């Protein structure tokens, strides 16, 4: 095990505070707490820091360590490709990139069959935005430039993707004005339904109706696409009722808009199906992917289109899609992705996600029964979440001065569990997780909830 001496670790931390932007952290706060933490190794669902402390990563990094840490097979596949070829001349490609596109056409729903590769999720969504607008110009409907997305959603950090997102967890004020022509409708979150629905199905129907009403108000001839996450992450694994996605498909077909499924988080087994849209038998027009495609071993993503979308850019009278991502389709990343998918298939990790996800959700429901601060527990496969409230009857959240998120996160970490606390929480361990490891996760969460509840009275 590689560890650091106290002096070396402090030098690393000082250097990070001086030279590194650590995501979502502020340097003076980290310095006060003796952070940032520095991790050096991982195996399965566990990671070890520079001081030798081992924790269960119940967030899979950032929803992406699907096959777990320490998979030498993926490193070997990348290394072997590096010895052969590490890039390609402009306008050409490589065998692993072709094989990956072929594999994705095989495993994605319906006639999704052509992949535009990127370096990650934000670029995949940005590609989908441009591809959609370019498509409608090719088919003679240039007025279709508007996008409909949902409140309490997240689609990425680039300017276009951020405009589609609607989460207060990722405020956009610093970057406005953002891309015009984006409109947000309610999230089909029955626990917080904006319409006060009596059932999850009624909430879903009313949320789809909001999409249709927005299309009609804006003018159907101007709406290019509706984009949505099959299971939404910012508010803690919001799973829509079964009628939601089929109805969304119907509305898009009725008015000629494309349906974009953002499967950056949900794709590659996370929800107990290879792709979450399969739960509802829906094929989107464009699917965005990243994260689990390589289990985070190398940056990789893509926008996968149905055949009719791709065909609009083919032929002597057509103009090619003028969009380039420098590292999109990188042969080393493609080789890693292929090996990653093979591991998932050989070890039946998608099926394990379904089984262990049900077991995890049962455990979260038991915690909900025990701890009044847990207002709702929900999930699909190994994408689970919960919402914490000060009062179950009113669903009143904890006030900011309760410092709930930091209390929970610190408590989890000190007990060997990596999990971000807050009003809305996600619990999403790697797909290789076992029942005994889930028992550890639930036991630790129980201990920390008990402690924090006592602190908050």
Q: What is the DSSP letter of 398?
A: P
**For residue 41, how many other CB atoms are within 10 A of its CB?**
16
Model pLDDT, residue 456:
93
Model pLDDT, residue 101:
98
- Tell me the average pLDDT of the chain: 96
Say if residue 15's pLDDT is above 70: yes
Model pLDDT, residue 252:
98
Q: β-pairing, 286-289 with 258-262? A: parallel
Model pLDDT, residue 316:
63
Model pLDDT, residue 82:
98
The pLDDT tens digits of the residues spanning 91-105 come to 999 999 999 999 999
Sequential DSSP letters for 226-279 = EEE-SSB-TTS-BPPPTTHHHHHHHHHHHHT-EEEEE-TTTTTTTTSSSSGGGG
Q: How confident is the model at residue 317 (pLDDT cuts 50, 70, 90)?
A: low
Say if residue 318's pLDDT is above 80: no
High-pLDDT (> 70) share of the chain, %: 99
Report pTM. 0.96
The pLDDT tens digits of the residues spanning 240-266 come to 999 999 999 999 999 999 999 999 999
Model pLDDT, residue 345:
98
The pLDDT tens digits of the residues spanning 384-431 come to 999 999 999 999 999 999 999 999 999 999 999 999 999 999 999 999
Residue 99 is encoded by which pair of tokens?
């094989």
Model pLDDT, residue 170:
79
Question: Which domains are seen in the chain, by residue range?
Answer: 72-346 (3.40.640.10), 349-376+386-398 (no CATH)
Q: How confident is the model at residue 2 (pLDDT cuts 50, 70, 90)?
A: low
> d(Cα 328, Cα 321) in Å, to the nearest integer?
14
Q: Angle at the Cα of 431 (from 426 to 435), degrees rounded to 5?
A: 90
Q: Tell me the three state secondary structure of residue 175.
A: helix
**Cα→Cα distances 325→23, 87, 116, 163, Å:** 23, 13, 9, 20
The pLDDT tens digits of the residues spanning 55-69 come to 999 999 999 999 999
Q: How confident is the model at residue 298 (pLDDT cuts 50, 70, 90)?
A: very high
The pLDDT of 177-182, averaged and rounded, is 95
226 near 259, Cβ under 8 Å? yes
Least confidently predicted of 116-125, 150-159, 310-319 = 310-319
Model pLDDT, residue 312:
94
Model pLDDT, residue 3:
67
Question: What number of residues does the chain have?
Answer: 457
> d(Cα 152, Cα 366) in Å, to the nearest integer?
26
Q: β-pairing, 417-418 with 182-185? A: unpaired
The pLDDT tens digits of the residues spanning 182-236 come to 999 999 999 999 999 999 999 999 999 999 999 999 999 999 999 999 999 999 9
């Amino acid at each position: 095990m590689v560890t650091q001496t106290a002096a070396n670790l402090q030098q690393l931390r000082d250097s990070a505070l001086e030279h590194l932007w650590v995501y979502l952290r502020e340097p003076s706060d980290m310095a006060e707490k003796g952070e940032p933490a520095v991790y050096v190794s991982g195996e399965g669902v566990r990671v070890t820091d520079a001081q030798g402390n081992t924790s269960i990563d119940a967030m899979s990094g950032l929803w992406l360590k699907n096959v777990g840490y320490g998979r030498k097979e993926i490193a070997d596949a990348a290394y072997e490709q590096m010895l052969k070829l590490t890039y390609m001349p402009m306008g050409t490609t490589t065998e692993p990139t072709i094989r990956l596109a072929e594999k994705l056409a095989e495993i994605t729903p319906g006639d999704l069959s052509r992949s535009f590769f990127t370096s990650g999720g934000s670029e995949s969504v940005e590609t989908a935005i441009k591809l959609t607008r370019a498509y409608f110009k090719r088919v003679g409907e240039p007025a279709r430039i508007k996008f409909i997305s949902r409140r309490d959603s997240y689609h990425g950090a680039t300017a276009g993707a951020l405009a589609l997102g609607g989460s207060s967890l990722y405020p956009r004020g610093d970057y406005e004005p953002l891309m015009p022509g984006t409109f947000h409708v309610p999230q089909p979150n029955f626990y917080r339904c904006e319409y006060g629905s009596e059932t999850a199905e009624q909430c879903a129907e009313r949320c789809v109706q909001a999409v249709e009403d927005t299309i009609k108000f804006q003018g159907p001839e101007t709406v290019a696409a509706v984009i949505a996450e099959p299971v939404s992450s910012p508010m803690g694994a919001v799973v829509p009722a079964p009628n939601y996605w089929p109805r969304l498909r119907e509305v898009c077909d009725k008015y000629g808009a494309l349906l974009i499924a953002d499967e950056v988080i949900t794709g590659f087994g996370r929800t107990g199906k290879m792709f979450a849209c399969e739960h509802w038998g829906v094929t989107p027009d464009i699917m965005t992917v990243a994260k689990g495609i390589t289990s985070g071993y190398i940056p990789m993503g893509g926008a996968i289109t149905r055949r009719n979308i791709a065909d609009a850019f083919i032929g002597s009278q057509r103009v090619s899609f003028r969009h380039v991502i420098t590292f999109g389709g990188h042969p080393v990343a493609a080789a890693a992705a292929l090996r990653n998918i093979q591991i998932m298939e050989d070890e039946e990790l998608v099926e394990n996600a379904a089984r262990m996800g049900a077991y995890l959700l049962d455990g979260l429901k038991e915690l909900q029964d025990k701890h009044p601060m847990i207002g709702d527990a929900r999930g699909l496969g190994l994408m689970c979440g919960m919402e914490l409230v000060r009062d179950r009857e009113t669903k009143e959240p904890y006030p900011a001065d309760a410092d709930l998120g930091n209390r929970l996160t610190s408590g989890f970490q000190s007990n060997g569990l990596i999990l971000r606390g807050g009003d809305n929480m996600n619990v999403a361990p790697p797909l290789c997780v076992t029942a005994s490891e889930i028992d550890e996760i639930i036991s630790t969460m129980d201990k920390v909830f008990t402690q924090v509840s006592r602190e908050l009275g």
